[in-house]
C-alpha cells in the first residue's frame, strides 16, 4: 500500500483516479480548493463518493498557499504525488489570465518543493495536448518541439514541463508529464463540449460549434485515462543514455524525466461526435456554426507509441460506448429529486 497525494481530487480526472487508487488499497490524500470555476455542487458530490471510503483524507487548500502545501507534505510524507490540480480551460484564459499564473505556475512550484524536500519517489503531473499549439504535423509526437503555444493555458502547461525537468536535473526527482487529450465521460466537467452539448440539446437550445464543425479531437474516455495513470505512478522514469545535447529529445532527458501523450490515438470530427450524442439522446441538436475561436487549434491527434512501449497503454473505449455511458450518468445525476 502506498500513500499518494492526488491534487484536484474533486475534479473530473482526480476524482476518478482517487477512486481507483482507493479500490486497489492505496491511502489517498485528496487536495482541492473547490473553486467556483464550474458548479461547486458537482465537485462536492464527487467528493462525497470518496469521503465514505476508508483510507481517504481530504485537504481543502490552494496550491498557491505555500505554507499549508509544504506543511501537508512534511506531515504526510507521500510516496507518490499526482498533480492534476490546475486552472483549466483554453477559452477562460482569455478572460482571467492571472488565475492561470497563480494555480499553474505558483502552485506547481509548491508541489515541486514539497516533493523535493520530502523524499517523494515520483511526481506524475498533468500537462495538456494544448502545448502542441501551432504544430500541424500529425499525429502529435512528444519528440517534436512545442514552443509555439496558442493560449496562456498551454503556455503554463509547457512551463510545468520545463519546471519539472529542472527539479529532475537538480534534485534527481523522478518526474513524468502527461499530455492529456480531451478527456470525457461520467462525472465530466461542465465546461467541456460533451457536457455543454448534452445540456443544450436536452433544453432545446442551440449548441455552439466552432470552426463550422470541422474541429477534430482525440477524445479519450476517462477509464482509459485512469488505467494509464495508475500504471504510470510506479513506473519511474530513468535517465535516457542515448540523450544528446546536440539534438535534444524534448520527451526524454539525461535526468529521470519523461513526457508522454495519453490519448485515444483516433481523432474524431466534431460533427461525428455530435451525431453519436444525438443518437444516445434520441434527439437532434440545433446547430449554431461559428468560426474558430482565438486560442483554439483545429485538430489534436496523439501519438501514444512511447506510452504503449512503457506500460502497454492501449485505449479500448469507442466514442459510442463512452458517450453512451456519459448520457446514462447525466440523466441519472440530473433526475435526482
Q: Note the Cα 306 to chain centre separation in Å.
A: 18
> What is the 8-class DSSP label of residue 144?
S
153 as an active site residue: the answer is yes
C-beta of residue 83 within 8 angstroms of C-beta of residue 7 = yes
Sorted by sequence, the CB contacts under 8 Å of residue 288 that are 6+ apart come out as: 206, 207, 208, 209
**Strand ranges (E), the chain:** 3-7, 27-32, 56-60, 80-83, 122-128, 175-180, 183-184, 206-209, 216-217, 220-221, 257-262, 268-269, 286-289
Q: Distance between CA 28 and CA 241 in Å, rounded?
A: 34
* Catalytic residue of the set 153, 260, 273, 301: 153
Q: What are phi and psi of 127, to 5 degrees?
A: -100, -150
Cell of 141: 509526437
Q: Can you state the angle between helices 270-281 and 193-202, rounded to 10 degrees? A: 40
C-beta of residue 59 within 8 angstroms of C-beta of residue 72 = yes
Catalytic residues: 153
Amino acid at each position: 500500500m502506498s500513500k499518494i497525494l492526488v491534487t484536484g481530487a474533486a475534479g473530473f480526472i482526480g476524482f476518478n483516479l482517487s477512486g481507483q487508487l482507493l479500490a486497489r488499497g492505496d491511502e489517498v490524500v485528496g487536495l482541492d480548493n473547490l473553486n467556483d470555476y464550474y458548479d461547486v455542487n458537482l465537485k462536492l458530490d464527487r467528493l462525497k463518493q470518496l469521503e465514505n471510503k476508508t483510507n481517504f483524507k481530504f485537504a481543502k487548500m490552494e496550491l498557491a498557499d505555500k505554507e499549508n502545501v509544504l506543511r501537508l507534505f512534511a506531515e504526510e510524507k507521500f510516496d507518490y504525488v499526482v498533480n492534476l490540480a490546475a486552472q483549466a480551460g483554453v477559452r477562460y484564459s482569455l478572460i482571467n489570465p492571472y488565475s492561470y499564473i497563480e494555480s499553474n505556475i505558483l502552485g506547481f512550484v509548491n508541489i515541486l518543493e514539497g516533493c523535493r524536500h520530502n523524499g517523494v519517489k515520483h511526481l506524475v503531473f498533468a500537462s495538456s495536448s494544448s502545448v502542441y499549439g501551432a504544430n500541424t504535423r500529425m499525429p502529435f509526437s512528444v519528440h517534436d518541439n512545442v514552443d509555439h503555444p496558442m493560449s496562456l493555458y498551454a503556455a503554463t502547461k509547457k512551463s510545468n514541463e520545463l519546471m519539472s525537468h529542472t527539479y529532475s536535473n537538480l534534485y534527481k526527482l523522478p518526474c513524468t508529464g502527461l499530455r492529456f487529450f480531451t478527456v470525457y465521460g461520467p462525472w465530466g466537467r461542465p465546461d467541456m463540449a460533451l457536457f455543454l452539448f448534452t445540456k443544450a440539446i436536452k433544453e432545446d437550445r442551440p449548441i455552439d460549434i466552432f470552426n463550422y464543425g470541422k474541429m477534430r479531437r482525440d477524445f479519450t474516455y476517462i477509464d482509459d485515462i485512469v488505467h494509464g495513470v495508475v500504471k504510470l505512478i510506479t513506473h519511474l522514469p530513468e535517465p535516457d543514455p542515448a540523450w544528446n545535447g546536440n539534438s535534444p529529445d524534448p520527451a526524454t532527458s539525461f535526468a529521470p524525466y519523461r513526457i508522454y501523450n495519453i490519448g485515444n490515438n483516433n481523432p474524431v470530427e466534431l460533427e461525428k461526435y455530435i451525431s453519436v450524442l444525438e443518437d444516445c439522446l434520441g434527439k437532434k441538436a440545433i446547430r449554431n456554426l461559428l468560426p474558430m475561436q482565438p486560442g483554439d487549434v483545429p485538430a489534436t491527434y496523439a501519438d501514444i507509441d512511447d506510452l504503449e512501449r512503457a506500460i502497454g497503454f492501449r485505449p479500448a473505449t469507442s466514442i459510442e460506448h463512452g458517450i453512451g455511458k456519459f448520457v446514462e450518468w447525466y440523466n441519472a445525476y440530473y433526475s435526482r429529486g
